[in-house]
């Protein structure tokens, strides 16, 4: 690419990227929503093929009970119907869950084991659904594309400098630690905020989000990189932010209970994961 074409590409991307997240934060997101939904659905099908799907009725009923209560609180303006969300339980020791554009939710049995009850698991489901609502996948992809264009532009500007390789390596590290990783921490904090609101509106105790991350901190055994090198906030930061959110979200929880919203999702016994017959 020439300098002129790189500059033109960058200008077009920036002009088409102007938007705001649900919390009012300026957002770089220029990917088509239908394309993101199609990519999410394709990725979900690949995960179902490559990982062990649990067919346990108690586990699936538990996951469905929590997920349905959460997605029922998603405003219609986001374009998702509560009935279109697909929820799958993966039989794995991974302490993880995710949601993808296209209304897909995956929950791992390892997370079900760490989450003491439905309220704690709802904190994660709410968080992951919030990632979808805030178009964080779109934003991350858009940021990575723009970062790549910027590094290409720097390469053209450096020309045949004898230290070009060293400069480009430094730019690569700077792009990661200066743009992509901190931006991901913003996403995580935003999803924590939105997810805690979703769970409270659904009738799940918002304080459970604090309790869950205390469990997660204990389960990690302190094995967490420094916050500036991580895509996630530190456990301490996360716990402090979620605790601060209780002032706003505890009243929503009380209102939800008065409106009769108290999902009766009882945690079943979580069996040990089966040995997978999937290829690694």
Average pLDDT, the chain: 80
Hey, which of 17-21, 234-238, 271-275 has the most confident mean pLDDT? 234-238
Question: Per-residue pLDDT tens for 252-269?
Answer: 999 999 999 999 999 999
Q: In what order do the strands lie in the sheet with 97-100?
A: 86-90, 104-108, 97-100
Q: What's the pTM value of the predicted model, to 2 decimals?
A: 0.78
Whole-angstrom Cα distance, residue 43 to residue 49? 10
CA angle 191, 194, 195 (to 5 degrees): 75
Q: Look up tokens 């389960």; give the residue.
A: 219
pLDDT at residue 70 above 50? Answer: yes
CA torsion sign for 36, 37, 39, 44 is positive
**Residue ranges per domain, the chain?**
3-258
Whole-angstrom Cα distance, residue 13 to residue 147? 11
Contact 86, 104 (CB under 8 A): yes
**Residue 151, pLDDT score:** 41
CB atoms within 10 A of CB 171: 17
């Amino acid at each position: 690419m020439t300098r002129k074409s790189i500059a033109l590409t960058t200008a077009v991307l920036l002009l088409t990227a102007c938007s705001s997240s649900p919390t009012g934060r300026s957002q770089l997101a220029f990917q088509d929503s239908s394309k993101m939904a199609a990519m999410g659905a394709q990725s979900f099908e690949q995960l179902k093929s490559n990982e062990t799907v649990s067919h346990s009725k108690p586990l699936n009923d538990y996951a469905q009970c929590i997920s349905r209560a959460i997605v029922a609180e998603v405003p219609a303006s986001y374009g998702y119907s509560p009935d279109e969300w697909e929820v799958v339980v993966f039989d794995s020791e991974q302490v993880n869950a995710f949601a993808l554009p296209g209304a897909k939710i995956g929950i791992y049995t390892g997370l079900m084991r760490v989450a003491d009850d439905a309220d704690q698991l709802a904190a994660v489901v709410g968080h992951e659904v919030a990632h979808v609502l805030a178009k964080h996948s779109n934003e991350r992809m858009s940021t990575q594309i723009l970062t790549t264009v910027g590094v290409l532009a720097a390469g053209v500007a450096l020309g045949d400098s004898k230290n070009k390789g060293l400069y480009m390596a430094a730019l690569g590290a700077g792009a990661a630690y200066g743009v992509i990783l901190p931006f991901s921490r913003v996403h995580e904090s935003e999803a924590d905020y939105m997810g805690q609101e979703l769970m409270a509106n659904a009738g799940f105790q918002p304080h459970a989000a604090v309790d869950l991350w205390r469990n997660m901190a204990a389960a990690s055994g302190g094995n967490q990189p420094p916050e500036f090198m991580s895509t996630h906030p530190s456990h301490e930061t996360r716990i402090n932010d979620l605790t601060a959110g209780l002032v706003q979200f505890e009243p929503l929880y009380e209102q939800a209970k008065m409106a009769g919203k108290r999902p009766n999702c009882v945690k079943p016994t979580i069996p040990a994961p089966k040995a997978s017959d999937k290829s690694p």
